[in-house]
Structure 1
Amino acid sequence: MRLASISFYPVKSTAGHEVATAEVEPWGLAGDRRYLVTGADGEVLTARVEPRLLACVARLDGDALTLTGPHAPPLPVSPAAWRSTVKVWATRVELTDCGDAAAEWLSALVGRPVRLKWLDDPTRRPVNPAYGRPGDRVSLADGYPLLLTSSASLSRLNDWIAETALERGEEPPKPLPMRRFRPNVVIDGVIDGVAEPFAEDEWKRLRIGEVDFRVSKRCDRCVMTTVDTSTFTKGVEPIRTLARFRRWEGKVWFGVNLIPDGPGRLATGDPVTVF
């Protein structure tokens, strides 16, 4: 098996970037999801609720963040001095505000008052202790430092989606791209020359290049996967088909969450070894 692609998302729920190499830090890929958007009441906003966030491309040059989008000129972001506490799912985390200019830029994009927040200290947010160790930390990702998916699993899912459409008398849709699932690392899941979809469900530990990872848990999927990243409209797939073939414990599943056992560097083409 090999590492087929690497992606990171500087601002949670905005467009991602594919890169050839990435540094792994204890809380995720360097630069991944260190910023998020909040609403007027301080609640976390994601593309589940505001799909137009996906029109924002956040670019990092070292530690400097620039927002680009279809509605306004690019905006360099300068975090302000004041902090506030934001509830990021089950955890309350102290985040630094990014100032009025960033708030106005993003508010114009989504059409409602919002603010941009920055996790200046990524050691503040622990991983769910049910699936991690006491020292494990995560940036502003949903729950865990990295998300892994496999090309073989997506291929099988797209086959199922086409079959489901035909059975319902519908025109089969175009295959879903992997970016719908917002992974950090995608592997070509070929073992002894055979593609094994969903083999990752059973993995406990693996090494990608020079970095060892624990598989903390499988990843349950939400309606964000139904948002077309080009049109920002919602459909029924892949949730409809995952609910048919990949539903248990009242949830649907695609991909696995990873926790790194140490820092290191990843590069596309790196070998992947399962322990």
Structure 2
Amino acid sequence: MTDFAGKVTALWRYPVSSLGGERLEAGHIGPDGVAGDRRWGIADAETGGVAGPEREKRWRIAPEVSARLAGEGAEIRLAGGDWMRAGGEAARAALAAHFGFPVEIRPHPGGAGDGSKPVQPRYERAAIHLLTTSSLAALRRILPDAVIDERRFRPNLVLDTGDDAVGFAETGWIGRRIGIGEAELRIVEPCERCAFTMIGQPDLPFDKRILAAISSENGKGFGVLCSVVRPGTVALGDEARLSR
């Protein structure tokens, strides 16, 4: 037996960690998550230090750069600009101008083998980050004058839970399995939030109240992290059903 949990209203991947992601109509979820998700990271080209927008002010503008998968590689774009091959000279020059110091896009270990030196992921995480419209609505009620947008929270899947679900619905699903499209996930734990949620992005202002509200209302968790039980394709509009 299963319970209806919602429908997929957004599917995201983030080819380059810390940079803006891309919305998909459909995508394959494998054992490690959405195909092409977080295959590269950004680092200081001189020191090799990994970007930490939640920790260092100089990296806060990282989400203003968009990234998308392009074949076996990645492309990046700054606001108002054209797409550029991530490892090309034009991209390096644009990133240096954007951040004010030399920046490189490097593969994560086991990721794209383009010959460049790998960079460690910013953190170890479960394969899929799932968020519901119920949680977004709950946060909007707490902060009615804030700009609450799913992009702040960098989910892979957003489920529209409809009007019946109230509050941080997915927090109550931890430990259960959820079938979405061809895939099946196990909901493992809350997604503990950091200062990245406060950072400004295109059309989103910096707002330090967001992390404080999450911490006080839902124990630092917003959305849930999931492991992959059965790989498969997921598309917009697919139903999600929770096992009992």
Alpha-carbon shift at residue 66 of structure 1 (Å): 1.7
| Paired position in structure 2 for 1:21 | 26
| Paired position in structure 2 for 1:207 | 179
Matched, 1:228 2:219: no
Matched, 1:269 2:234: no
Alpha-carbon shift at residue 232 of structure 1 (Å): 7.2
Higher relative contact order (CA 8 A, sep 6+): 2
Asked whether the 8 Å contact 1:22–1:267 carries over to 2, the reply is yes
After superposition, residues 109-120 of structure 1 pair within 5 angstroms as 109-119=98-108
| Paired position in structure 1 for 2:50 | 44
**How many Å separate the matches in 1 of 2:40 and 2:111?**
11
- Give runs of ≥4 in structure 1 deviating > 6 Å: none
Alpha-carbon shift at residue 7 of structure 1 (Å): 0.8
Deviation track 1:209-239 (CA, whole Å, cap 9, x = no partner) reads 1111111211110111011212675322211
Equivalent of 2:68, from 52, 59, 66? Answer: 59
Count of paired positions? 224
| Paired position in structure 2 for 1:167 | none
- Please say which structure displays the higher CA radius of gyration: 1
Q: Name the % identity.
A: 27
**How many Å separate the matches in 2 of 1:233 and 1:177?**
11
Q: Which amino acid aligns with 1:157?
A: L
After superposition, residues 1-275 of structure 1 pair within 5 angstroms as 1-39=6-44, 40-48=46-54, 49=56, 50-70=59-79, 74-77=83-86, 98=87, 102-119=91-108, 121-122=110-111, 142-162=124-144, 173-190=145-162, 194-203=164-173, 204=175, 205-230=177-202, 234-247=206-219, 252-275=220-243
**How many Å separate the matches in 2 of 1:156 and 1:74?**
36
Unaligned runs of 5+ in 1: 78-97, 124-138, 163-172
Asked whether the 8 Å contact 2:21–2:68 carries over to 1, the reply is no
Q: Secondary structure at the match of 2:151?
A: helix
Alpha-carbon shift at residue 141 of structure 1 (Å): 6.7
Asked whether the 8 Å contact 1:46–1:53 carries over to 2, the reply is no
Q: Which amino acid aligns with 1:274?
A: L
Q: Secondary structure at the match of 1:108?
A: helix
**How many Å separate the matches in 2 of 1:29 and 1:238?**
27
Unaligned runs of 5+ in 2: 1-5, 113-120
Asked whether the 8 Å contact 1:102–1:116 carries over to 2, the reply is no
**How many Å separate the matches in 1 of 2:85 and 2:226?**
31
Alpha-carbon shift at residue 269 of structure 1 (Å): 0.8
1:120/1:75 CA distance change after superposition, 3 Å: farther
Q: TM-score, normalised by structure 1?
A: 0.73
Asked whether the 8 Å contact 2:186–2:229 carries over to 1, the reply is yes
1:223/1:120 CA distance change after superposition, 3 Å: closer
Alpha-carbon shift at residue 72 of structure 1 (Å): 6.2
Alpha-carbon shift at residue 152 of structure 1 (Å): 0.8
**How many Å separate the matches in 2 of 1:242 and 1:196?**
16
Q: TM-score, normalised by structure 2?
A: 0.82
Asked whether the 8 Å contact 1:227–1:233 carries over to 2, the reply is yes
Q: Which amino acid aligns with 2:34?
A: L
Asked whether the 8 Å contact 1:12–1:46 carries over to 2, the reply is no
Alpha-carbon shift at residue 244 of structure 1 (Å): 2.2
Asked whether the 8 Å contact 2:52–2:122 carries over to 1, the reply is no
